[in-house]
């Protein structure tokens, strides 16, 4: 199918430069390649959106997680931290402090 397309001066120069570089044999090849890339990007974006919508729905379908008591969570984390330090209050990273 033959189609005439109007380009801005900047885009026309861009297309001409691609042909002049030798990567493309004609301006039509540049436009076809650009449209293929645009089609690929749009397809990938649609796939990402579908995946995001599916994950969203799975989250909704999984039900309410209930209320979280952040004070209790913080206390539990602190207790674990202190237990990991040990009775001498040493380094919890497991590394050698003298190294």
Could you tell me if residue 56 is inside a domain? yes
Looking at residue 66, its pLDDT comes to 84
Alpha carbon distance 28, 24 (integer Å): 9
What confidence tier does 88 reach under pLDDT thresholds 50, 70, 90? confident
Residue 91 pLDDT greater than 90, yes or no: no
Report the length, in residues, of the chain.
99
Looking at residue 54, its pLDDT comes to 98
pLDDT tens by residue, 15-56? 999 999 999 999 999 999 999 999 999 999 999 999 999 999
Could you tell me if residue 40 is inside a domain? yes
Q: How many domains does the chain have?
A: 1
Q: Where are the alpha helices (DSSP H) in the chain?
A: 9-20, 27-61, 70-85
State which residues form the domain around 20: 1-62
């Amino acid at each position: 199918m033959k189609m005439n397309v109007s380009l801005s001066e900047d885009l026309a120069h861009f297309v001409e430069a691609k042909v002049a570089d030798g990567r493309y044999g004609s301006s039509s090849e540049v436009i076809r390649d650009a449209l293929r890339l645009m089609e690929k990007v749009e397809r990938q974006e649609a796939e990402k959106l579908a995946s995001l919508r599916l994950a969203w729905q799975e989250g909704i379908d999984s039900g309410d997680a209930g209320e979280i008591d952040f004070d209790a969570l913080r206390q539990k984390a602190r207790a674990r931290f202190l237990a990991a330090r040990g009775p001498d209050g040493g380094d919890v990273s497991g590394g050698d402090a003298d190294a």
